[in-house]
Amino acid sequence: MNEFDLVLPSEVDVREVGMRDGLQLEAPVPLAAKLEMLEALVATGVRRIEATSFVSPKAVPALADADQVAAELARWPGVHWSALVANERGAVRAVDAGVADLEYVVSAADGHSRANAGRSTAEAVAAVGEIARLAHAAGGSLEVIIATAWDCPFDGRTPIARTVDVARAAVTAGADQLCLGDTIGTTTPLRVVQMLDAVRRACPGIPLGVHFHDTRGTGQANALAAVQAGVTQLDASIGGLGGCPFAPGASGNIATEELVYMLEESGVRTGLDLDALLVAARATERAVGHELPSSLYRAGGRSVPRALDAR
Amino acid sequence: MNEFDLVLPSEVDVREVGMRDGLQLEAPVPLAAKLEMLEALVATGVRRIEATSFVSPKAVPALADADQVAAELARWPGVHWSALVANERGAVRAVDAGVADLEYVVSAADGHSRANAGRSTAEAVAAVGEIARLAHAAGGSLEVIIATAWDCPFDGRTPIARTVDVARAAVTAGADQLCLGDTIGTTTPLRVVQMLDAVRRACPGIPLGVHFHDTRGTGQANALAAVQAGVTQLDASIGGLGGCPFAPGASGNIATEELVYMLEESGVRTGLDLDALLVAARATERAVGHELPSSLYRAGGRSVPRALDAR
């Protein structure tokens, strides 16, 4: 066993996605409870929050109040807000509501693209240019999130070349930033770094984030591998909210408090406060009315030995 | 972002600890159900199983049948069995029962040592020599598991020098092998590799394993860091069995199936079969009569896309 140095960046930039990816499959939460969640999330120190998505209220009733949520965001001027859109119509709505930093999902796998968005990957890519134009005209930016970047529940493994092609096409069409999504929580550390390497080679200079799910217990390990590979933009959801409706009991997104704990205790600054995250998880649990999957939250902040807290 | 290679060993050696660390805090499971668990575990291909512990039946009623379990192990000659002992008396019992490969726990932190074993760390270390002698006289070996190697629920952080001192003293007294235990599931990747490095420098040539808990969602990331650092001996518990009784709902040991999934899908051979692990988890769930914490098990083996299984 040779000596080994774990090389990590000095800081990372966490994006909180609980308000969108976390809530989208929940029973609709009243606006007042969402604002309590937001208040608690802002208090954690997080600098980037995915506020909502501008999609069909029929498809996602939990986020039917996107305009009302957007109207409240000016309360918290220090935060960088973004919103997800599913098409050009959504982009117009978002910009009109005052959110110009957009996220747009393209599924790298056709099977998931058709099931999720009703069109092929190529058709989804074709919309990037117009959505980017709308964002840029409003003074904002466009991040393309490549869903099923590693695996698809219908098509199986996504070839690296396929995800790379989507990344390259998105950037060519005007995307300012990319994010790779492990939509069904199946990827593993080696595949994470292989994919990151391939996408970076294809899209040099384009900021690249990661979006992991913890469905099979590998989410934090994948995040660690990504951070070792130099990624500094990571999505996470308060309390691990965001489970797949087709896998009851399975964990959803990686939990923000677990990511922050792992990184901060490994010397990587996140700017987020662990105690405030546990308060925000409590507000989230109240809002959704059921237990959250996060192990750290369930273990309880206070069971972290005092001497650790006092560090 | 520079290119980054995730360097991993080609294979690792997983020890299944569900029969001991997993069951020890459960309501006692009938011998017949334990044998069904064992049968299912052996079928996974695992080569090392911690079968039971020879401790006071009053302190650990769930393992009061250690002698009966030990009497059955000859059914499965291909497996390397070990048992945990708490003192010289337990070592005599284990050897008499036919298990000569012993594990003995020393808590690096005095607070945990007194609470768990009723004696100081120094007093616990003082017993290593006689237990090693008993194991060696029976043709076996002694592994010292250093509990609270990183953190103690009473004393807070364990200084690296303290864990190193225990490691060195154990080896000097006759331990053949060491294992570092993150007893309360608080450590994180950077601290893992720092501790491993320090212990290896102090005890060159001594096999060194790791025993992680997933109480705060960092267990698999810690395992990844340890494997990157060259560790090839890892403890894991089927279904993640082994939660702390003082943190209801919190995950316990890292789940064997999650560890195997993460490593095998990252190109590291474990010799364990994922489908067989899910069958063993089902047997374990039946035996203990409650849901297991493992996310992978809850997500369901069949929800792993077919194309992944067919790989």
pLDDT in tens, B225-236: 999 999 999 999
Contacts of B294 in chain A (CB under 8 A): 217
> Considering only alpha carbons, which residue of chain B is nearest residue A229?
B4
- Strand A151-152 versus strand A156-157 pairing type: antiparallel
Contact B6 A188 (CB under 8 A): no
Q: What is the pLDDT of residue B244?
A: 55
pLDDT higher than threshold 50 for residue B276 = yes
Nearest Cβ partner for A229 among B4, B156, B300 = B4
Contact B4 A295 (CB under 8 A): no
Mean pLDDT, chain B, whole residue set: 93
- Residue among B152, B179, B203, B244 flagged as catalytic: B244
Report helix, strand or coil for A182: coil
pLDDT in tens, B190-213: 999 999 999 999 999 999 999 999
pLDDT higher than threshold 70 for residue A307 = no
Contacts of A311 in chain B (CB under 8 A): 157
Catalytic residue list contains B203 = no
Confidence category of residue A244, pLDDT binned at 50, 70, 90: low
Contact A155 B307 (CB under 8 A): yes
Contact B154 A305 (CB under 8 A): yes
Confidence category of residue A251, pLDDT binned at 50, 70, 90: low
pLDDT higher than threshold 50 for residue B260 = yes
What is the average per-residue pLDDT within A224-242? 97
Query: Shortest Cα distance from B46 to chain A (angstroms)?
Result: 20
Report helix, strand or coil for A119: coil
List the Cα angle B161/B253/B154 in 5-degree steps: 45
pLDDT in tens, A120-163: 999 999 999 999 999 999 999 999 999 999 999 999 999 999 99
Q: What is the pLDDT of residue B310?
A: 37
Q: Which residue has the tokens 């939660």?
A: B243
What is the average per-residue pLDDT within B136-146? 98
Contact B217 A303 (CB under 8 A): no
Q: What is the pLDDT of residue A248?
A: 45
Confidence category of residue A310, pLDDT binned at 50, 70, 90: very low
Q: What would the two tokens of residue A290 be?
A: 């059921």
Contacts of A213 in chain B (CB under 8 A): none
For residue A256, give the nearest of A47, A73, A32 by alpha carbon: A47
**Region of poorest pLDDT, from A284-293, B60-69, B241-250:** B241-250
Contacts of A303 in chain B (CB under 8 A): 153, 184, 246-247
Q: What is the pLDDT of residue A2?
A: 57
Domains and CATH numbers, chain A: 13-309 (3.20.20.70)
Q: What would the two tokens of residue B125 be?
A: 């270390």
What is the average per-residue pLDDT within B55-66? 95
- Residue among A152, A179, A203, A244 flagged as catalytic: A244
CA torsion, ordered B37, B43, B47, B48, to nearest 10 deg: 0
Contact A231 B1 (CB under 8 A): yes
Label each residue of B270-294 as H, E or C. Answer: CCCCHHHHHHHHHHHHHHHCCCCCC
Q: What is the pLDDT of residue B133?
A: 98
pLDDT higher than threshold 50 for residue B33 = yes
**Region of poorest pLDDT, from A138-142, A273-277, B1-5:** B1-5
Q: What would the two tokens of residue B9 be?
A: 């060993």
pLDDT higher than threshold 50 for residue B159 = yes
Nearest Cβ partner for B308 among A156, A230, A307 = A156
Confidence category of residue A300, pLDDT binned at 50, 70, 90: confident
Query: Shortest Cα distance from A212 to chain B (angstroms)?
Result: 13
pLDDT in tens, A18-35: 999 999 999 999 999 999
Mean pLDDT, chain A, whole residue set: 93
pLDDT higher than threshold 50 for residue A226 = yes
Residue type present at position A1: M
Contact A261 B193 (CB under 8 A): no
